[in-house]
Amino acid sequence: MKGVVNIEDLRKLAKKRLPKIAYDFIEGGTDDEVGLGTNEQAFRQARIVPRYLVDVSVRDQSTTIFGRTYSSPIGIAPTGLAGLFRRGADLMLAEAARDANVPFIMSGSSTGSIEDLAKLAPDHGWYQLYSSKDEAISEDLIKRTADAGLKTLVFTVDVPEGSNRERNIRNGWGRPLKLSWATKLEALEHPAWMLEWLRHGTPYFSNWAKYAGPNASADKVADLVAYQNRAPMTWKHVERFRSIFKGNFVLKGIMHPDDAIRAHSLGVDGIMVSNHGARQLDNAPSPLHVLPAINEAVGDKMTVMFDGGIRRGLDAIIALCMGAKFVFQGRPTLYGVTAGGVQGAKTALGIFRREVDISMAQMGATRISDLGPHYLMWKDEEDLRRNRR
């Protein structure tokens, strides 16, 4: 995309296209939004110590998890309501991930369907599951994921209740939408988005249509999703869903080593260390702060992945050095697809790939498997001796 150099450029283009009510949904956190800064600042505080006199003329960032090798260690995390920001965005993101050979996790609040994802990106599509009040719906979604041939199911566990997202409250976000005249007038300043909204209306949650009754309207399906997704989640659900799904079973939202240990004991294949993009508990630590302890607890037993605050390729490298086997980001590719459709999402992934490659050269690493704590600034002499290679 012309003039786009980094993820920040894509964010500005996405903001220009969207009305405030939609942009704030992407960008916002909860309460005072301290957590948003916490996630990003954790990376600013980390320091990489480069190793020179290394031949870095050939570099390889391919990464293998769950028996599949991807071209880069950065995938696309689930981002709900992507179809509100650009119609068809979920499958556009899947196409971009497929072409870049990285995984894409379809949100449980997507407007694309599990079956369409499996047709478009069978080797790159994962599905995100939220617990439903009606457990028969959860079990059917799991069955559909398996029947479609998708090999990885991601059970998101860090939304026990809706959070206090004050930007959304002020904008009248909710079911039903209660838009002020100011909000409606501001939306008119974004004609491309407004035309799409007037033409198509409320995004249609395709995965949920069958549960809302015959010929259910988009609004009726959206009401069902809002109702069903406020459901209890316990370790019993983990055991049950693990027993049903025979593929790779991942828990997203783990933030404590003891929870990671328990997940492993129940046969979970992988965890994603994440605080839901700082959208649930405002004073939670950054996932980067807890990643080393979680990796120490279970890193040799299961696949530890990371999500939260990634805005640069170097951010991904820092998380990989701290123990993550793979990294996911959500907002950056959402900015991209909002701003430029499939090409915008591809641009975001290309930016990350280029930045990872340059950073590896600068620090003296030629393979992702080379990365580890020995590249991080040591805390004291004992730490230096432990990490010296």
Q: Which domains does the chain have, with CATH numbers?
A: 7-373 (3.20.20.70)
The SS3 assignment for 221 reads: helix
**Which residue bears the tokens 């004609």?**
191
Question: Is residue 156 scored above 80 in pLDDT?
Answer: yes
pLDDT of residue 278: 86
Nearest-CA neighbor of 357 among 368, 346, 348? 368
Portion of the chain with pLDDT greater than 70, in percent: 96
pLDDT of residue 184: 80
Predicted confidence band of residue 84 (pLDDT cuts 50, 70, 90): very high
Predicted confidence band of residue 389 (pLDDT cuts 50, 70, 90): low
Phi and psi torsions of 248, nearest 5°: -75, 125
Comparing 4-8, 54-58, 167-171, 258-262, which segment has the lowest mean pLDDT? 167-171
Question: Is residue 382 scored above 80 in pLDDT?
Answer: no
d(CA 373, CA 384): 10
Portion of the chain with pLDDT greater than 90, in percent: 81
pLDDT of residue 59: 98
pLDDT of residue 379: 74
pLDDT (mean) for 144-149: 98
How many CA within 13 A on the CB side of residue 373?
A: 15
Q: Which is higher by pLDDT, 367 or 180? A: 367
For every residue of 29-84, DSSP letters joined together read -STT-HHHHHHHHHHHH--B----S---SS-B--EEETTEEESSSEEE---TTHHH
- 276 catalytically annotated: yes
Q: Give me the long-range contacts of 164-172 (CB less than 8 A, separation at least 24).
A: 164/30, 164/31, 165/28, 165/29, 165/30, 165/279, 166/28, 166/30, 166/31, 167/24, 167/25, 167/27, 167/28, 168/24, 168/25, 168/28, 171/20, 171/21, 171/24, 172/21
285-316 burial by CB neighbour count: b if 16+ within 10 A, else e?
bbbbbbbbebbebbbeebbbbbbbbbbbbbbb
Predicted confidence band of residue 172 (pLDDT cuts 50, 70, 90): confident
Q: What is the pLDDT of residues 303-325, one digit of tens each?
A: 999 999 999 999 999 999 999 99
Question: Is residue 381 scored above 70 in pLDDT?
Answer: no
pLDDT (mean) for 225-250: 94
Q: What is the residue-averaged pLDDT of the chain?
A: 94
The SS3 assignment for 112 reads: coil
pLDDT (mean) for 129-145: 96
pLDDT of residue 127: 98
Runs of H (alpha helix) within the chain: 7-17, 20-27, 34-45, 82-85, 89-100, 114-120, 135-147, 166-171, 181-187, 191-200, 218-228, 235-244, 257-265, 287-298, 313-321, 331-363, 381-387
pLDDT of residue 177: 67
Pick the catalytic residue from 200, 276, 289, 374.
276
Predicted confidence band of residue 105 (pLDDT cuts 50, 70, 90): very high
